[in-house]
Structure 1
Amino acid sequence: MLLRVRVALPDRPGSLAHVTKVLGVAGADITQVTVLERGAGRAVDDITVFCPDDTTRQALVKSLQSVEDVTVEGVWNTREAPGTYPELEILKYITTAGDRALTTLIDSLPVLFSADWAATTTAEHRVVYASWRAPREIVIPEEGAAARPAAMTLDDGLHLIHAPLPPLALVLLLARSDGPAFHRIEVHRLTRILEIFLSLPATERSVARQLRKEPR
């Protein structure tokens, strides 16, 4: 199984080596390391690992907790194949998808961000399109919704990126129930993808196509 591990650790030589050694002893094969932030003597890294099915998340967390000054922020499933530049692949598909640009984007985002589901809704809370793992009833946050894409965590623990799409009069939601809250780097990454999506000539046509369909 492919897992994403997010750890906070001292930003000094040797710290990451200790983490990778412990993961290796626990049976994890490290396939990618992404530095999310550095500052004030600390770093936050996302580490993608491949583990045998008999290696549990609890075993990984317990092993990492044995490393001095390392904090485990989350361990969760991921479908994003490391080292494949997935944004470029998805943007290529979107630019050639024509009237299916919106559905292609929404179906792709959970894989790109190791999330559970994504959806777009109207201001009246009508679901325009949602990926296959989205719940039947989607809760759209009202209070604290920002004018730009922003990360938030709901009272039930669901992590969201709430991304208004003013040119289309829509809101995009990206959600994960497992793992840590969305990092600001993930929010920035989504923002750039949406900027490109909104610049495509076929974007408005793809939204109009979905709006003509029956409500979900």
Structure 2
Amino acid sequence: MLLRLRVSLPDRPGVLGQVARAFGVMGADILQVTVLERDSGRAIDDFTVSWSGVLSAEELRERVSVVPGTKVEAAWRTREVPGANPDYDLLGHVAADPGRALATLVDAVPDLVSADWAVAVSAAGALVHGSWQAPETVSWSDVTLIRPSSLTLDGPVHVLSVPLPPLSGDDALHLVVARSQGPAFHRVELDRMIRLMELVEVLVRSGVKA
């Protein structure tokens, strides 16, 4: 299975190598490392690993944390396959059929940021479209924020909310993306979604055909 681990570690030579060795000792194959931030002598990195061992994600998290100064902030399953370029696939589908851009976007986004589900909601909180795992009975009026935020459904659920470009005749839609197992969305993930929305809007407005 694929796991994503968010690791806070000292930003000095050799520490990243120690973390990589810790993964290797347990049989976890590092597929991708994404640097989210570096500040005041520390870094926050997302590791995507292939993991088929007998230890649980929580046990893997504990063992990596033995590296001095290192803290694993979260470990959760992901469907985002490194090197698969899902952003490009999404943009290709939007270009091929701009009329279905809203549904295409909402259905695809969870896999782009290792989330569980996504919905498009109106300014009044009405559900316009949801991915297949999205809950149907939730009040969305309090989460239309242009920044990462949190709410509680059946447990802590981290939410990322960004305004959607006008894709279906409604200029006041928001994209709400949620993850329940992993950490809160990082600013890098928010920036990625905002940039993606801009590109989708360009394709829809231009009416590009593949």
Residues 1:65 and 2:65 aligned together: yes
Quick one: distance in 1 between partners of 2:165 and 2:95? 20
1:25-174 mapped onto 2 (5 Å cutoff): 25-52=25-52, 54-142=54-142, 145-146=144-145, 149-155=146-152, 156-165=155-164, 167=166, 168-174=171-177
Q: 1:79 to 1:125 in 2, by over 3 A?
A: same
Q: Secondary structure at the match of 1:154?
A: strand
**Percent of aligned positions that are identical:** 44
* TM-score, structure 2 as length reference: 0.89
* 1:210 corresponds to: none
Q: Which amino acid aligns with 2:162?
A: A
Pick aligned residue for 1:194 from 189, 194, 197: 197
Where does structure 1 lack aligned partners over 5 or more consecutive residues?
Answer: 205-216
Counterpart amino acid of residue 181 in structure 2:
D
TM superposition shift of 1:202 = 6.0
For residues 16-70 of structure 1, give each alpha carbon's deviation from its aligned partner in whole angstroms, at most 9, with x where no partner exists.
1111111111221111111111111000000000111633112211211211100
Q: Which whole-Å CA distance do the structure 2 matches of 1:70 and 1:158 have between them?
A: 25
Q: What CA distance in whole angstroms lies between the structure 2 residues aligned with 1:75 and 1:52?
A: 15
CA distance 1:141–1:124, shift in 2 (3 Å)? closer
Secondary structure of the residue that 1:91 maps to in structure 2?
helix
Distance in 1 separating the partners of 2:88 and 2:49: 22
Q: Identify the residue that residue 15 of structure 1 maps to in structure 2.
A: 15
Unmatched segments (≥5 aa) in structure 2: none
Segments ≥4 residues shifted beyond 6 Å: none
The counterpart of 1:179, out of the listed 174, 177, 182, is 182
Q: How many pairs are equivalent?
A: 201
